[in-house]
A and B are shown apart, each in its own frame.
Chain A
Amino acid sequence: MIKVDHEPALLEVRGATKRFGAVRALKGVDISIAPGEVHVILGQNGAGKSTLIKMLAGVHTPDEGTLRWHGELVTISNPVAALELGIATMYQELDVVDGLTIAENIYLGHEMATGGFSQRSRANKSATELLDRLGHGNLSPSREVGSLSPANKQIVSMARALSRNAQLIVMDEPSAVLDSEEVKNLFRVVNELTASGVAVVYISHRLEEIREIGDRITVIKDGRSTANGLPVADTSTSELIRLMTGRDIDNVFPARVPVPADSPEVLTVENLSLKGVFDRVDLSVRAGEILGIAGLVGSGRSEILETIYGARKPSTGTVRVSGSQLSPGSVTDAVEHGVGLSPEERKSQGLLLDQPIFTNVTLSSFARFARFGFLNENAERAAAVEQIEALELRPADPDNPAGSLSGGNQQKILLARWLVHGTSVLLLDEPTRGVDAGARAEIYALIRRLAAAGTAIIVVSSEIEEVLGLADRVLVIADGHVLTTTEATQIDEHGVLDLVMKGSAA
Chain B
Amino acid sequence: MSEQPTVPSAEHPNPATESTDIVTPSSRSWFSRVMSSSAGRNLGLVIALLVLFAIGALTAGERFTNFENILTIIRFASIIGVLSIGMTFVIIGGGIDLSVGSVMGLASVISTLSVIQTFAEQTSWIVMVIVAILVGTLAGIVNGIVISYGNVVAFMATLAMLVAARGFAEIFSNRSTQIVRSQEFIEVFRADFLGIPILIWIFIVVAALGWILLNRTTFGRRTIAIGGNREAARLAGLKVKRHTVYLYAIAGMTAGIAAVMILGRTTAGTSTHGTLYELDAIAAVVVGGTLLIGGRGTIVGTVFGVLIFATLTNVFTQNNLNTSVQAVAKGVIIVLAVLLQQRFAARNKR
Residues from chain B with Cβ under 8 Å of A370 in the complex: 217-218
As a 0/1 sequence over residues 188 to 230 of chain A, the CB contacts with chain B under 8 angstroms (1 = contact) are 0000000000000000000000000000000000000000000
As a 0/1 sequence over residues 222 to 241 of chain B, the CB contacts with chain A under 8 angstroms (1 = contact) are 00110011011111111100
Residues from chain B with Cβ under 8 Å of A21 in the complex: 32
The one of A365, A367, A396 that contacts B26, using a Cβ cutoff of 8 Å: A396
Task: Give CA–CA (A253, B55) in the complex, Å.
Answer: 70
Residues from chain A with Cβ under 8 Å of B27 in the complex: 22, 397
Instruction: Take A354-B228, A364-B236 as given contacts and tell me if A422 and B14 are in contact as well, using a CB distance cutoff of 8 Å.
Output: yes
Which residues in window 409-425 of A have CB below 8 A to B? 417, 419-424
Q: Is B29 an interface residue (CB 8 A)?
A: yes
Q: How far is the CB of A254 from the nearest CB of chain B, in Å?
A: 12
Q: Is A269 an interface residue (CB 8 A)?
A: no
As a 0/1 sequence over residues 346 to 371 of chain A, the CB contacts with chain B under 8 angstroms (1 = contact) are 00111111110001000111111110
Residues from chain B with Cβ under 8 Å of A446 in the complex: 8
Q: How far is the CB of B309 from the nearest CB of chain A, in Å?
A: 26
Q: Is B9 an interface residue (CB 8 A)?
A: yes
Q: Is the CB of B236 within 8 A of A348?
A: no
Residues from chain B with Cβ under 8 Å of A382 in the complex: 15, 18-23
Q: Is the CB of A453 within 8 A of B15?
A: no
Residues from chain B with Cβ under 8 Å of A422 in the complex: 2, 4-6, 14, 16
The one of A311, A367, A375 that contacts B216, using a Cβ cutoff of 8 Å: A375
Q: Is A338 an interface residue (CB 8 A)?
A: yes
Q: How far is the CB of B350 from the nearest CB of chain A, in Å?
A: 7
Residues from chain A with Cβ under 8 Å of B9 in the complex: 390, 449
Which residues in window 103-139 of A have CB below 8 A to B? none
Residues from chain A with Cβ under 8 Å of B168 in the complex: none
Residues from chain A with Cβ under 8 Å of B350 in the complex: 59, 403
Number of residue pairs across A and B with beta carbons under 8 Å? 160
Q: Is the CB of A390 within 8 A of B237?
A: no
* Closest residue of B by beta carbon distance from A454: B6
The size class of the interface chain A forms with chain B is: 35 or more
The one of B1, B2, B225, B234 that contacts A352, using a Cβ cutoff of 8 Å: B225
Q: How far is the CB of B43 from the nearest CB of chain A, in Å?
A: 17
Task: Give CA–CA (A454, B8) in the complex, Å.
Answer: 10
Q: Is B295 an interface residue (CB 8 A)?
A: yes
Stretch at the interface among A64-72, A74-82, A328-336: A328-336
Interface SS of chain B: loop
The one of A367, A401, A417, A424 that contacts B218, using a Cβ cutoff of 8 Å: A367
Task: Give CA–CA (A334, B7) in the complex, Å.
Answer: 20
Task: Give CA–CA (A8, B321) in the complex, Å.
Answer: 69
* Closest residue of B by beta carbon distance from A417: B236
Q: Is B219 an interface residue (CB 8 A)?
A: yes
Q: How far is the CB of B107 from the nearest CB of chain A, in Å?
A: 27
Q: Is the CB of B228 within 8 A of A453?
A: no
Q: Is the CB of B20 within 8 A of A352?
A: no
Q: Is B343 an interface residue (CB 8 A)?
A: no
Q: Is the CB of B235 within 8 A of A453?
A: no
With an 8 Å Cβ cutoff, the count of chain B residues facing the other chain is 50
Task: Give CA–CA (A365, B336) in the complex, Å.
Answer: 39
Q: Is the CB of A397 within 8 A of B28?
A: yes
Q: Is the CB of A352 within 8 A of B23?
A: no
Residues from chain B with Cβ under 8 Å of A417 in the complex: 236
Q: Is B181 an interface residue (CB 8 A)?
A: no
Q: Is B117 an interface residue (CB 8 A)?
A: no
Residues from chain B with Cβ under 8 Å of A379 in the complex: 20
Q: How far is the CB of A332 from the nearest CB of chain B, in Å?
A: 5
The one of B18, B239, B348 that contacts A332, using a Cβ cutoff of 8 Å: B239
Task: Give CA–CA (A449, B12) in the complex, Å.
Answer: 11
Q: Is the CB of A352 within 8 A of B8?
A: no
Residues from chain A with Cβ under 8 Å of B2 in the complex: 335-338, 421-424
Instruction: Take A382-B20, A423-B2 as given contacts and tell me if A363 and B217 are in contact as well, using a CB distance cutoff of 8 Å.
Output: no
Residues from chain B with Cβ under 8 Å of A369 in the complex: 16
The one of A343, A386, A455 that contacts B6, using a Cβ cutoff of 8 Å: A455
Q: Is B68 an interface residue (CB 8 A)?
A: no
Q: Is B41 an interface residue (CB 8 A)?
A: no
Q: Is the CB of B28 within 8 A of A399?
A: yes
Task: Give CA–CA (A66, B29) in the complex, Å.
Answer: 29
Q: How far is the CB of A306 from the nearest CB of chain B, in Å?
A: 8
Residues from chain A with Cβ under 8 Å of B295 in the complex: 352, 354-355
Q: Is the CB of B218 within 8 A of A355?
A: no
Q: Is the CB of B3 within 8 A of A338?
A: yes
Q: Is B296 an interface residue (CB 8 A)?
A: yes
Task: Give CA–CA (A335, B231) in the complex, Å.
Answer: 15
Most buried by A among B9, B28, B232, B236: B236
Given A403-B349, A423-B6, 16 extra CB contacts under 8 A: A22-B29, A334-B237, A348-B229, A355-B224, A364-B236, A365-B16, A375-B220, A378-B22, A382-B20, A390-B8, A390-B11, A420-B15, A420-B16, A421-B2, A423-B2, A450-B8
> Top 4 nearest A-B pairs by Cβ distance?
A335-B237, A422-B5, A338-B2, A383-B15
Query: What residues make up the interface of A, taking CB atoms closer than 8 Å to B?
Result: 21-22, 59, 309, 311, 331-332, 334-338, 341, 343, 348-355, 359, 363-370, 373-376, 378-379, 381-383, 385-387, 390, 396-399, 401, 403, 417, 419-424, 446, 449-450, 453-455
Query: What residues make up the interface of B, taking CB atoms closer than 8 Å to A?
Result: 1-9, 11-12, 14-16, 18-23, 25-29, 32, 216-221, 224-225, 228-229, 231-239, 295-296, 348-350
